[in-house]
Structure 1
Amino acid sequence: MSAIKVIGIDLGKSVFHLIGHDYSGHEVCRHKLTRVKLIQFISLQESTTIAMEACCGAHWLARKCQEYGHKVKLIPAQYVKPYVKSHKNDFIDADAIAEAATRPKMRFVSPKSEQAQISTVIRKIRTGYIRERTSCMNRVGSILLEFGISFPRGHANMKKLFQWLADKEAIVPPQLILELRDLLDYYNQLNEKVAAQDQKLIELNKENELYALLQTIPGIGPMTASCCLSSVGDPKDFANGRNFAAWIGLVPFQYTTGGKPRLLGISKRGNKELRELFVHAARAVMWRDASAERYFGSWLIDLKCRKPFNVAVVALANKLARIAWSVMNARKAFEVKA
């Protein structure tokens, strides 16, 4: 059998399909393997390039492949699709992945560390608690509305629910009071769980100097810094800060044809969580004119006067993203030299 240049793996939950290409691009092997058999197969192969789509389970398998001395290339799924030929099945997908990995201008994703994945899991669980907490608050409001009581929104009012009812001298059935008490207890439990997740993120990243360094950027706090560290495997994946901001989706969507440039709204591509956090960071700065002028000078004040508030917020979020990339890239370069 010819030497294998690249192995394309189509990931699955229990079964994995892989195809190997030689240096001429011809198929030299194809296998359908279980997870255990796949690890055994990889461990017996000489060092080669292994390509996968950057999807569920890819980063764990990438770390396993690197342990056996292989070079791993993770490809965004949308960049693999053009190489799928004819009908779609698992072996055709694996073949397309292997072919896409050999393209000179293909873009790749750096495998994430175990700590980065754990940080992502903690934030996802935190987001789930926040959604449940919002549902709980809406549930209380809708229940009271059924009894002719318009309860105002907001955490401040929710925390003093029964005091608010007493001040309004609202007539509430005793059985309903018991139900509202259970909902309020559930709301308080969710608050505690959200706070616990926040503390876990701080403990997980407290030894990381870059985590503290990112928080020196105006508007960026622990959550945004943690998301930057876990979402960006290697800042060198981006040529510059502009590419990083484009990956987040903070640049206009471009539709240019016939030499006529046309810029639409922001593309909203890439990492939704990171984009949302940068927008919130920008909004926190924009709300305070003194802070905005101190950190960004007259540029931001003039922008607020010329453009709608939300447009200015997105422009500032774009600038914050570029600054964050510069900080991560400079720190990475310093660590390499050291």
Structure 2
Amino acid sequence: MAIVNRIALDLAKDFIQVLALDESEHEVFNKKLRSNKVLAKLAKLKRTDDCEVTVESCGMSHHWRREIEKLGYKTVALPPRFVKAYLQGEKNDANDARAIAEAASRPNRKSVRIKSIEQQDLALMVSQRDSRRLMTIPGIGPVTAVSLLALIGDVSDFKRGRNVSEYLGLVPRQNSSGGKDRLGGITKKGNTRLRTLLVHGARSALRMAHKRNDKLSLWAQDVAKRRGNNIAAVALANKHARIIWAILTHKEDYRMAAA
């Protein structure tokens, strides 16, 4: 077998896609392994001294990095939104692993620092406190709050609230031609389940908006009258995504702005 110089792992609970590349960036193999077989496989590989293992940053990535580094590998974790730009072809485990490897080869990559078990415990405590903050937004419940934190991860990866909306596929699709910008439906990029949770939460907030007189509720009611409840719910979900960024960035509870 060829000598491996770089490895990309697409992490999952039961099965993990393992992509190995040689020094010429040729695929040595790209196969799915049971998660309990991955470390044994990595331990047996013929590899260069500076062989690097790259994963997407997620809740389980810190554990895997700690275990892999015990085998003598260097590890890197990349933000999911950075990796997504390099996905080619249909989304599947093999192509996801290729996207991770491609993203890792870029000079502008931004690696997420590995956390110890103690740091993860502290982050969990902070996460529970950020969850409570998100739940101060009308329409955001515990499931949505926890799902948001799990997917978004480090909010500092997003420069502004609109970037969160874009990541979740809640911004209008643009069709520009002849100097004119035409806005269509939302892009629907990103995590479908999380986008659905946000829209359903926005529908709930919209149903109760007539009982409030803050600026956001009045705005949502106006959109509903002009464009209908469906468009208003999506528009409100878009607003919520931006508010979520602000809350996580400034570490404050949501405060309704008076009309």
Task: Report the TM-score, using the length of structure 2 for normalisation.
Answer: 0.65
Q: Secondary structure at the match of 1:255?
A: strand
State the partner residue of 1:35: 38
- Report if the CA contact (8 A) 1:293-1:300 is conserved: no
The equivalent position to 1:71 in structure 2, one of 54, 76, 79, is 76
Q: Secondary structure at the match of 2:88?
A: helix
Post-superposition shift, 1:259? 3.1
User: Partners of 1:80 and 1:212 in 2: how far apart?
Assistant: 34
User: Partners of 2:88 and 2:75 in 1: how far apart?
Assistant: 24
Post-superposition shift, 1:261? 1.9
User: Partners of 2:17 and 2:140 in 1: how far apart?
Assistant: 42
State the partner residue of 1:327: 247
Post-superposition shift, 1:252? 1.0
Unaligned runs of 5+ in 1: 83-89, 115-203, 333-338
1:82-97 alignment runs, 5 A limit = 97=100
Unaligned runs of 5+ in 2: 32-36, 118-123, 253-259
1:156-167 alignment runs, 5 A limit = none
Question: Percent identity of the aligned residues?
Answer: 33
Q: Secondary structure at the match of 1:210?
A: helix
- Report if the CA contact (8 A) 1:292-1:301 is conserved: no
User: Partners of 1:291 and 1:113 in 2: how far apart?
Assistant: 47
Partner deviation per Cα, 1:222-279 (whole Å, 9 max, x = no partner): 1211211222221122221111111111111122244332221111111111111111
User: Partners of 2:210 and 2:65 in 1: how far apart?
Assistant: 51
Q: Name the larger-Rg structure.
A: 1
Q: Which has the higher contact order (CA 8 A, sep 6+)?
A: 2
State the partner residue of 2:54: 51
Task: Report the TM-score, using the length of structure 1 for normalisation.
Answer: 0.52
- Report if the CA contact (8 A) 2:19-2:27 is conserved: no
Q: Secondary structure at the match of 2:216?
A: helix
Greater fraction of residues in helix: 1
User: Partners of 2:175 and 2:109 in 1: how far apart?
Assistant: 22
- Report if the CA contact (8 A) 1:14-1:35 is conserved: yes
Partner deviation per Cα, 1:179-225 (whole Å, 9 max, x = no partner): xxxxxxxxxxxxxxxxxxxxxxxxx9898211111111122111211
The equivalent position to 1:229 in structure 2, one of 149, 153, 159, is 149
State the partner residue of 1:171: none
The two structures, once aligned, show a CA RMSD in angstroms of: 4.3
Number of residue pairs aligned between Structure 1 and Structure 2: 223
The equivalent position to 2:105 in structure 1, one of 80, 102, 113, is 102
Partner deviation per Cα, 1:23-72 (whole Å, 9 max, x = no partner): xxx55995789623444269x97677533468xxx864664225526222
Q: Which amino acid is 1:19 matched to?
A: L
- Report if the CA contact (8 A) 1:113-1:233 is conserved: no
User: Partners of 2:150 and 2:127 in 1: how far apart?
Assistant: 15
- Report if the CA contact (8 A) 1:252-1:265 is conserved: yes
State the partner residue of 2:165: 245
Greater fraction of residues in strand: 2
